[in-house]
Amino acid sequence: MEKKLTRRSMVTKMMQVGFITIASKAIGFFRQKLWVEYLGLGAIGDAFSSAYRIPSSLRKIFAEGALSASAVPTLVTVLKKDGKIQAGRVLSLILIFFQAVLLIGCIAVAFFAGHVMFFAAPGWQCADSEKCFLATKILRILIFYLPMVSASALIASVLQAAHLFSVPVMVQVLTNVFMVAELWVCLKLNAPVVVLAWCMLLNTVVLLGVSVGFYWYAGFAFGKPNAAAAISVRDVLWKFIPCAIGLGVTEINLFIDQQIASYLPDGSISLLNNTYAFTRVPLGIFAITFSTVLLPHFSRVVVYAPRRLSFYLLESTKFIWWVTVPISILMGSLSLKMFFTLFSSPHITALQGYQFSNLFNIFIISLFFLSLDKIVLNMFYALHETFLPVFATFISALLNTLMSVALMPYLGIQGIVLSTVLASIFKLGLCIWALKRKFGFVLYPKALGNFLVRTLVQFSILGALLYLSYDVLYFCIMQLPGRASYLLLFTMLYWFWVIPLCLVFAGIAYYTRRLFGIRMHFLD
C-alpha cells in the first residue's frame, strides 16, 4: 500500500528533488559550456543542433512530456487500487506498444534523414550544403536514442506515482555527468562530432539499464498484460493523443523558429538553441521540481477536493514568482559576464557574445511564465482535461509563427525570441482563463496583488543592498595585484565570489520574508 503524501512530506519531497535537480542543472550548465566550446556557434554547431533538435523535440512528446503526463494519473490510480503487480503489467503493455511505434518511426526517419533535414533547415539549400550532409549523418545516429529515453521516462512515471521522485532526477544527473565527460574528451582530442553522437546514443542504453535497476529495487516487476491492463493503457492513450498534439504544436513552434533562423547567417541556429538551453537550466530546477511532485498530488486532490486546486494555483503562482523573478533579474544583469567568463573558445567571437546576451535577456523574461505554465498544465491533466491546453497551445504557436515572420526582417533572430516570449505569456493567460471559465477556479486577485506588492518591496530593498555589496566587492578586488584581479573579474573564478554573494542574499530573503508580510503555503 502506498503512503499518503502529506503536506510536510510533499515539501520534503520537493526539497529532495530540488537539491538533486540543482546539482543536475549545475552539471548541465558546465555541460553546455563544453558544448559551446566544442561545437562553436558556427556551421558545425548549427548542423549538430539542428539534427539534435528533432529527437529532442520528439523526446518531449514520447518521453518526459506528453507520455509521462498522461501515464502518471492512470498509474497513480492503478497503484492505489490494485498494487505494484498490476502497475507492472500496465507498464509492460505501454512499453510494448510505444516502443514498437517509436522503433518503426525512427527507422523511417533514419532512412529519409536527408529529406528530413531539408525540411528542418530549408535555408541551407541542403542539396549543396556541407552542413546538411553532416546534420544528416548525426540525425541517423541520434534518432535511435528516442526509444531508450522514452522507456526510461515510462519507468520513471511508475516511480513517480509511488512517490519515488528523486530517482528519475538522479538519472538526469548521471546523464549530464556522462555528457560532461564525453564532451571534455572530444574537446581535448579534437574528435569528429559524429563521435559525440555515438556517445550520446550509448548513454541512453546505459541509463535505461540504471532505470530498470531502480525499478526492480523499488519492488516493481514487469508482468504479462491482462484485460485490466489493456483498459488502463486505453485510458493512457486517450489522454496521450491530445497531450501529444499540444506538446507537438509547441515543438513544431520551436521547429518553425529553427526553419526561419536557417535563412539567417551561420551560427544563428546555434545561438537560438543555446539561448533556449541556458534558460532551461533555471526553468528545469523549478518546473521539474514542482511538476514532478505536484502532478500525482493534484491527481489525488481532484478525487476528494477538486476546488482546492484554486488554492494551489494561487500558492504555486506566489512561490514561483518569489523565486523566479529575482533569478531572472540577476541572470539578465550578468548575462554578458556569464558568456565571456564561461565560454572562451577560438570558435566564438565577441559579437556572438553580445548577441547571446541580448537573446538571453529577452528570453529570461519568460522564466516565470514558463515555470507557472508547467503547473497549470498539470492541473488540466489532473482534471482529465486535455482539449483546452491543446487549443491554447495551438493558438499560441500560430501567434508565435506569425510574429516571428513579421519581426525577423526588422529584428533578426531577436524577433524570433521575442515572439516566443510573447506567445508563451499569451498561452498561460489563455489557460488560466479556461480554468476559471470551465472549472470555476477562483483567482484571488486581491490576495495575489497584495503579495506582489510586498515582494516588490522586498526585492527592491534587498536588490539595492545586493547591488551595493557587489560594487564594494568589485572595487576591492580591483585593488588586488593585476593577475589576481584579472582572474577574479574576467575568468570562471568570478563566479566563486558572485554566486556565494547571491546565495547569502537568497538566505536573507528567505529569513526576512515574514518581516515584509510574505506568506507562502510551500514555505510556511
pLDDT digits 0-9 by tens, 307-316: 888 998 998 8
- In the chain, the amino acid numbered 100 is A
pLDDT number for residue 350: 73
- The rounded percent of the chain whose pLDDT value lies above 70 is 85
Q: Does the structure show a pLDDT above 50 at 2?
A: no
| Model confidence band, residue 1 (pLDDT cutoffs 50, 70, 90) | very low
Grid cell 500558492 in the structure block, residue: 315
Give whole-number Cα distances, 152 to 63, 143, 215, 428, in Å: 8, 16, 10, 29
111-123 average pLDDT score:
83
Distance, in Å, from the CA atom of 18 to the CA atom of 21, rounded to the nearest integer, reads 5
- In the chain, the amino acid numbered 350 is A
Does residue 330 or residue 33 have the better pLDDT?
330
Does residue 34 or residue 478 have the better pLDDT?
478
Decide if 516 contacts 457 (C-beta within 8 A): yes
pLDDT number for residue 453: 96
Residue 105 phi, psi dihedral angles, 5° rounding: -65, -40
Mean per-residue pLDDT over the chain, rounded: 82
pLDDT number for residue 131: 78
Query: Contacts for 454-457 with beta carbons within 8 Å, 24 or more apart?
Result: 454/516, 454/517, 454/518, 455/321, 455/322, 455/325, 455/516, 455/518, 457/516
Nearest to 146 by CA among 137, 154, 135, 157: 154
Q: Does the structure show a pLDDT above 90 at 170?
A: no
Span 198-237, pLDDT tens digits = 999 998 888 888 888 888 887 888 888 888 888 888 888 8
Nearest to 271 by CA among 183, 348, 346: 348
Neighbours of 337 (CB within 10 A): 15
Copy the grid coordinates of residue 12.
Answer: 520534503
333-342 average pLDDT score:
82
pLDDT number for residue 284: 65
Copy the grid coordinates of residue 494.
Answer: 568570478
- Highest average pLDDT, of 28-37, 364-373, 427-436, comes from 427-436
pLDDT number for residue 454: 96
Counting every residue, how long is the chain? 524
Query: Contacts for 258-261 with beta carbons within 8 Å, 24 or more apart?
Result: 258/50, 258/53, 258/120, 258/121, 259/119, 259/120, 259/121, 259/122, 259/123, 260/404, 260/405, 260/408, 260/416, 261/123, 261/413, 261/416
Question: 129-143, 166-180, 217-231, 373-387: which range is least confident on average?
Answer: 166-180
Distance, in Å, from the CA atom of 489 to the CA atom of 478, rounded to the nearest integer, reads 8
| Model confidence band, residue 177 (pLDDT cutoffs 50, 70, 90) | confident
pLDDT number for residue 8: 54
Nearest to 52 by CA among 209, 229, 388, 276: 276
Residues 6+ apart with CB under 8 A from 351: none
Alpha helices in 112-226 (DSSP H): 113-120, 130-142, 145-161, 166-189, 193-217
Nearest to 272 by CA among 427, 118, 485, 421: 421
DSSP calls for 430-475: HHHHHHHHHH-----HHHHHHHHHHHHHHHHHHHHHHHHHHHHHHH
Q: Does the structure show a pLDDT above 60 at 305?
A: yes
DSSP calls for 241-304: HHHHHHHHHHHHHHHHHHHHHTTSPTTHHHHHHHHHHHHHHHHHHHHHHHHHHHHHHHHHHHHH
Question: 186-195, 199-208, 373-382: which range is least confident on average?
Answer: 373-382
Decide if 263 contacts 123 (C-beta within 8 A): yes
Does residue 430 or residue 409 have the better pLDDT?
430
Decide if 134 contacts 44 (C-beta within 8 A): yes
289-298 average pLDDT score:
67
| Model confidence band, residue 326 (pLDDT cutoffs 50, 70, 90) | very high
Nearest to 424 by CA among 404, 408, 443: 404
Copy the grid coordinates of residue 324.
Answer: 523566479
Q: Does the structure show a pLDDT above 70 at 163?
A: no
Does residue 401 or residue 433 have the better pLDDT?
433
Span 37-76, pLDDT tens digits = 888 777 788 888 888 888 887 887 776 667 777 777 777 7
Distance, in Å, from the CA atom of 245 to the CA atom of 252, rounded to the nearest integer, reads 10
Q: Does the structure show a pLDDT above 90 at 434?
A: yes
Does residue 38 or residue 353 have the better pLDDT?
38
Q: Does the structure show a pLDDT above 70 at 339?
A: yes
pLDDT number for residue 84: 82
Q: Does the structure show a pLDDT above 80 at 246?
A: no
Q: Does the structure show a pLDDT above 50 at 192?
A: yes
370-395 average pLDDT score:
82
